[in-house]
Amino acid sequence: MTSKNKKEFKDNIKTIERESVELDNVEKNNGEDNGKTKEVSVADVKKREQEKEIAGDPAKSKTVKKKKKIRRQVVKGQAHIQCTYNNTVVTISDLKGRVLGWSSAGVLGFRGAKKATPFAATKIVNNVMEKVFRYGLQEVEVYVKGVGSGREAAIRALVNNGLDIMLIKDITPIPHNGCRPRKPRRV
């Protein structure tokens, strides 16, 4: 909490305490107005605070109105699915490549060999879709990289979450007689 927020918090507490004392006094006097107490509503207090801000109260003069954040609507996007033998990572971005949301098996709490399973891939896509839901995404181009077992499961999960798939492209890097490959994996 910054010092400015602390000060506003204390001011709010003082206002609430003052209102409760005034309301207690009104109740004690059975609603009789003897000139000392006055019933105050929350709307009146807010109205007074606004008047103080307009009048240029030095204590409140530096209050800055928070701008309403404009949420961008992204109808078309890209889904990048990276499946390795050890993990699965799903990233959803707009067409320019700005990331809207991402998730991986480790984020969801999967450990060890369970991170590369098709079940983990579906859970990852569900998690990403919760994050991306507010952007209004409807169509995606899917780019798949890697040879893990979660590839097909992740694509099916995208369809099950209501996205229309426009393109599925495999972008797994393939060497053109470059470095010597590692020995074949024994399963």
> What confidence tens digit (pLDDT) does each residue in 102-149 have?
999 999 999 999 999 999 999 999 999 999 999 999 999 999 999 999
In a domain, residue 21? The reply is: yes
Q: Are 44 and 117 in contact (CB under 8 A)?
A: no
Q: Is the pLDDT of residue 30 over 60?
A: no
- Assess if residue 28 is contained within a domain: yes
pLDDT band at 37 (very low <50, low <70, confident <90, very high): very low
Q: Residue 94 pLDDT > 80, yes or no?
A: yes
Do 27 and 106 lie in one domain? The reply is no
Give pLDDT, residue 22: 61
**Residue 59, pLDDT above cutoff 60:** no
Res 29 pLDDT > 70 = no
Q: Are residues 15 and 89 in the same domain?
A: no
Give the H or E element holding residue 82. Answer: strand 76-83
- Say which range, 24-38, 54-68, 134-148, 173-187, has the weakest mean pLDDT: 24-38
Tell me which residue has tokens 């309301």.
23
Beta-bridged to residue 139, according to DSSP, are: 76, 164
pLDDT(56) > 60:
no
In whole angstroms, give the CA distance from residue 127 to residue 99: 15
CB 89 within 8 Å of CB 82: yes
CATH, residue 116: 3.30.420.80
Domain count, the chain: 2
Question: Over the chain, what is the mean pLDDT?
Answer: 83
> Residue 62 domain-assigned?
no
Domain of 88, in residue numbers: 76-170
The residue-averaged pLDDT of 178-187 equals: 89
More confident residue, 139 or 34: 139
